[in-house]
Structure 1
Amino acid sequence: MTLLPLAALISTTLFASTAAHASDWPESFSKCAAQGGTCDAGTGKRQVSFGIKNKWVVKSLSGKVACTTATFGSDPYPGVDKKCALGPLDGGTTPPTTPPTTPPTTPPTTPPAGTDPVTQAAPATGWASYSTGTRGGAAAVQKDVFLVSSASQLLSALKTEGGRPMQIKIYGTIDMAADGPFKSVAEQGVRSLISLPSNTTLIGAGPNAGIVNGRIMIKGVDNVIVRNLTIANPCDIAPVWDPKDTSTGNWNSRYDGLNVDKSTHVWIDHNTFTDAPRTDDQFPKENGKLKQCHDGALDIKNGADYVTVSNNVFKLHEKNTLVGSSDDTTSDDDHLTVTFHGNHYMDITGRSPRVRFGKVHVYNNYYQGDRDAKLYPHHYSIGVGYKAKIVSQHNAFDVIGAKECGNVVESSGSSGKTGAIIDSGSLLNGVALGMGGDSCKFSSAIGWTLPYTPTVIDASTVRESVLRNAGAGKLVVR
């Protein structure tokens, strides 16, 4: 094993920002107002917190909620301006008034024998386990195991690959722009690129392992695993205005956080994808729209097959995941075999995922958002595009303002280019999703059956399970 020095570990405001937010309201809540403002809790009773700096009170409320001491009946932090945040619909466990000293999630534990995160194979609960399965760099010998903590070390490790299995463990946060800001589009394209070869495991070691100003590319390869990393979705330094994109035009960017292209047997697990710290509200409006610098968080396209996306957190992002790049790529038909399960979609506008052509299985995911949010308002979750063939099972949609199935499952193609979806057991704000109703009429002719046996849990327990398991920092990597 090549042990590289850890003195050069890079810090970033990405994680500090997340921690600061978490201290002002309970985990998984979303800010809705500053003190004196108003929160819209919707028609059903919902948990609402009032407080700041690790002190808050929580009440079950509905409708327009004044963020005031009078509403909540006590002042958890006298003399300091407080914040209100919206939590889940009532029926979950109300957080304590003062949070515990440790996060309300199960702390990482040493994995049982045979389940070391570095050598673990993709489990038999998703497409990545199909055919020859996905083991990444599990078979790597000592000289092909690398510990890296800088962009130069990471790129150096990738250059040593000769087709052999390899493991790359990331310590701390790697900034691909550590040598200075990108000066041109061409320079950004080269310096931001992290291209993974076949038979590779890229994994974060420690709770703050991650990548900023980078883009992971898995292209034309087989057998790759990416786990336990916080990935800041890259920000294009020169977004392009396209007046023909939508009826009013749009800003388009070039880079995804992670791209799976023409590749097979890929497992994306226990990562966190986020626009933070460079969220869309930090950018100016031009041509009447925010000059948005982010593209996709995770895109899967061009005939990629046998991909599992599991136990990830996707948050604070607009165009999250495409499966299939365009209606014209008809060679994708009968490919794009992808599973999404156990993921947490929080404050995501859409594409969770948006599917063309693919045989896609979406189960036990937790969707959390607000259709009237000022930043990243929820538009839809699952997009049923041209020739999509989607199996949906026991997903939980907890979306403020969503009143019917069509608010979360959308036909993403034209009337002549439709797809198919079947659903069982999913819940929208605590009640049956209503697939097949007036707002959610789709073909059910998906034309395939699952080639593996998933472990599906009831949608009523999905929220608790996902919040406990999903995201980076939940795996112990040695």
Structure 2
Amino acid sequence: MRMSYAVLAGCTALVLGATATATATTKAKVTATTAQAVPGQARHVLPPHDGWASTGGGTTGGAGADAAHTFTVTTWEEFRAALAAGGDAPRVIKVKGVLRADAAGCGAFEAEGYDFAKYLAAYDPAVWGRDRPVSGEQEDLRAASATRQAAAVKAYIPSDTTIVGVGRNAGITGGSLQIKDADNVVVRNLTLESPLDCFPQWDPTDGATGAWNSEYDSAVVHGSTHVWLDHNTFTDGAHPDSTLPSYYGELYQRHDGELDIVRGADLVTVSWNVFADHDKTLMIGNSDSAGATDRGRLRVTLHHNLFRHVIERAPRVRFGKVDAYNNHFVAPASGYQYSFGIGAESQLVAEANAFTLPAGVGAGRVLKKWKEAPVTATGNRVNGRTVDLIAAHNAEYPTEPLRSGAGWTPTLRTGVDDARQVPPVVGRHAGAGRIR
């Protein structure tokens, strides 16, 4: 039920006279409010020419919602109830305060008989070895526990929906927004604190020494089209990796990604967000073998985002035509791997971005070659100097050369700032609470 830009031009001043109340079949009560009480930003639509999500009819979210489908929520239960209410009608969901998807705690999800101490004893590499995946009673109980957590922390976003934080301090902690098989979704002005996986799986065959693997991205765009993610802050919050223990000599990783755009997703604009303090941050395309689904899709625009102290995947790209311009990348003091990952059949254009790298880290590290694919990189600056990122990479990694020329020229841009202006502009305006 997407409406044209012309029809929606006056949506920010829309006035509806009635109020209504919707009571969900869950125990949560969701209150519908008049549009007079909805800040103008709840009715904002993606401007014309603003990235890939502006093409093919544009992205308007729930800007056409009536009063009965405009909700204010203050709890995770109310939020999920609002997502389920109202059928296929456009909706606006205003998030007030911080919604706690993890309030119940990990113990609430444990299957009867699951015991982490027993899990550690059963799959200790000294006992189990490193040449076969784990199996048996405790692994089955771990998986059952994980299923319970997934049901509690995932929220599925339907088509024609706008989700917007109210004020400067709105957000979601421990929840995973699933934008799956939907069209026309807007998410703005939220601080999204990464979910903590209560039940990571030990995989002794992952790499030379094994690894703990976790689930739950803060947001996933899966098979969806026309999605606008704007002025959000993605963070590990109170639980960065530095606070996590190690078992079997490996970090007990409880985080997955901050944002994944995968499995045939298409026409996505990611603008004015902060991605902070994370390892594997942003993935576009999840598998080299997904060409049948992803080829010709995964068209994503990234502009005016701040990637602060992230280790890698900012983003890692497969298949898609990705336009990344006017982003600022501030690498951590230690542990930095790369920013742009060049993957299978990707066509990345990286223009007028700014990179702040610590001493001892060369500009060649910005690009990482995973598979043979062409790249366009122009007008980028590293530590205040204009740098040819492809030449820098090829000089530092001569056995893994990158090929210049992505083969396409982005046109869906509202304007490109000089890379010298990117750090102050992005620093002032990106992230939740700074919506204009």
TM-score in terms of structure 1 length:
0.72
Corresponding position of 1:347: 309
Q: Is the 8 A contact 1:350 1:380 kept in 2?
A: yes
With over 3 angstroms needed to count, the CA separation of the structure-2 counterparts of 1:323 and 1:293, relative to structure 1, is same
Distance 1:250 1:456 in 2: 41
Task: Confirm or deny: 8 A CA contact 1:2 1:145 kept in the other structure.
Answer: no
- 1:176 maps to a residue whose letter is A
Q: Does the residue aligned with 2:269 lie in a helix, a strand or coil?
A: strand
Which residue of 1 is the match for residue 35 of structure 2?
none
* 2:417 corresponding residue in structure 1: 457
Q: 1:165 corresponds to which residue?
A: 90
Q: Does 1:207 align with 2:168?
A: yes
Query: Which runs of no fewer than 5 residues in structure 2 stay unpaired?
Result: 1-18, 23-38, 110-144, 395-400
Residue pair 1:370, 1:401 contacting (<8 A) in 2 also: no
Asked if structure 2 preserves the Cα contact closer than 8 Å seen for 1:369 and 1:399, the reply is: yes
Residue 300 of structure 1: SS of its match in structure 2?
strand
Structure 1 window deviating more from structure 2 (121-130 vs 270-279): it is 121-130
Aligned to 2:13: none
Find runs of 4+ consecutive structure 1 residues off by over 3 angstroms.
Answer: 1-4, 179-182
- Counterpart check, 1:224 vs 2:185: yes
Q: Structure 1 residue 391 and structure 2 residue 349: aligned?
A: yes
1:439 & 1:318 partners in 2: Cα distance?
21
1:125 paired with 2:50, answer yes
Whether 1:307 and 2:231 are equivalent positions in the alignment is no
| Structure 1 counterpart of 2:156, one-letter code | S
User: What amino acid does structure 2 have at the position aligned with 1:158?
Assistant: L
Paired residues for 1:311-322 under 5 Å: 311-322=272-283
- Report the secondary structure of 1:187's partner residue: helix
RMSD: 1.7
Q: Quick one: which amino acid aligns to residue 78 of structure 2? A: Q
Identify the residue that residue 328 of structure 1 maps to in structure 2. 289
Partner of 2:33: none
Give the SS at the match of 2:95. Answer: strand
Q: Deviations 1:240-289 (Å, cap 9, x if unpaired)?
A: 12233333332211110000000000000000010111111222111222
Contact 1:257/1:273, CA 8 A, preserved across alignment: yes
Match of 1:57 in 2: none
Question: Aligned residue for 2:130?
Answer: none
CA deviation after TM superposition for structure 1 residue 402, in Å: 5.3
Q: Deviations over 1:131-152 (max 9, x none)?
A: 1100000000010000000112
Alignment of 1:336-415 (within 5 A): 336-372=298-334, 377-401=335-359, 403-411=361-369, 413=370
Deviations 1:133-175 (A, max 9, x none): 0000000001000000011211111111311110000000000
SS of structure 2 residue aligned to 1:370: coil
Q: Which residue of 1 aligns with 2:113?
A: none
Matches within 5 A, 1:55-454: 116-123=40-47, 124-181=49-106, 182-183=108-109, 184-331=145-292, 332-372=294-334, 377-401=335-359, 403-411=361-369, 413=370, 417-437=371-391, 439-440=393-394, 441-454=401-414
Q: 2: CA distance between counterparts of 1:349 and 1:395? A: 17
User: Greater CA deviation, 383-392 or 176-185?
Assistant: 176-185
Query: For residues 435 and 273 of structure 1, what CA distance do their matches in structure 2 show?
Result: 26
SS of the equivalent of 1:207 reads: coil
Alpha-carbon spacing, 1:192–1:149, altered in 2? closer, same or farther (3 Å): same
Gaps of 5+ in 1: 5-114
Quick one: percent identity of the two aligned structures? 40
Return the alpha-carbon distance in structure 1 between the equivalents of residues 65 and 360 of structure 2. 48
Q: Which has the higher helix share?
A: 2
Distance 1:436 1:265 in 2: 31
TM-superposed deviation, 1:418: 1.5
With over 3 angstroms needed to count, the CA separation of the structure-2 counterparts of 1:369 and 1:436, relative to structure 1, is closer
What is the Cα deviation at residue 392 of structure 1?
0.7
More strand by share: 1
Give, in whole Å, the separation in 2 of the partners of 1:437 and 1:450. 22
Cα 1:438–1:247 change in 2 (3 A) is farther
Deviates more, 1:434-443 or 1:228-237: 434-443
Contact 2:164 2:189 in 1 (8 A): yes
The aligned length equals 358
How big is the shift at 1:403? Answer: 4.2
Q: For residues 154-205 of structure 1, what are the alpha-carbon distances to aligned partners after superposition, in whole Å with 9 as ceiling and x for unaligned? A: 1111111311110000000000133454423122100101110000001100
Show CA shifts across 1:77-114 (max 9, x none). xxxxxxxxxxxxxxxxxxxxxxxxxxxxxxxxxxxxxx
* Aligned 8 A contact 2:377 2:388 in 1: no
Letter in 1 for 2:388: G
Structure 2: which amino acid aligns with 1:274? T
Offset, 1:303: 1.1
CA contact (8 A) 1:371 1:402 kept: no
Amino acid at match of 1:470: A
Q: How far does residue 3 in structure 1 lie from its aligned partner after superposition?
A: 7.6
2:351 alignment partner AA: Q
* Alpha-carbon distance in structure 2 between the residues aligned to 1:219 and 1:402: 41
Rounded Cα–Cα distance in structure 1 between residues aligned with 2:240 and 2:271: 24
| TM-fit CA distance, 1:371 | 4.5
* Partner Cα distance (1:161, 1:217) in 2: 18
Contact 1:344 1:470 in 2 (8 A): yes
Distance 1:281 1:213 in 2: 18
| SS in structure 2 at match of 1:439 | helix
Paired with 1:238 and 1:390, the residues of 2 have a C-alpha distance of 35
Per-residue Cα deviation, 1:305-336 (whole angstroms, up to 9, x for no partner): 11001100111110101100011111212210
Q: 1:451 deviation in Å?
A: 4.0
